[in-house]
Amino acid sequence: MIGADDAGRRWSIGELARATGMTVRALHHYDEIGLLTASERTPSGHRRYSERDLRRLYRVRALRALGLSLEEVAAVLAGAADDPESLRRQ
């Protein structure tokens, strides 16, 4: 059975950077520290971000806008479920 997230759109790192106003370098950094890892890699190693990854990135950005450090953001996200209802509760 394929989940809804498995069948959705995929973004390259450049597309994700343009869509969110971030830099590719910042997204690479998030990947290096384990804050946002692409769900998929192409056979040539290119990152492909899913809708779930995009939701996580928006959560990261919202928590950063509230003044949390990257370490604090990682701690918050480590204990949070990835579903729309949990987003509303946070």
pLDDT the model gives residue 3: 44
Hey, which residues does 47 pair with through a beta bridge? 41
Rounding to the nearest 10 degrees, give the CA dihedral for residues 11, 12, 13, 16: -30
Please state the pTM of the whole predicted model: 0.77
Q: What letter would DSSP give residue 5?
A: T
Q: Express each pLDDT in 11-56 by its tens digit.
A: 999 999 999 999 999 999 999 999 999 999 999 999 999 999 999 9
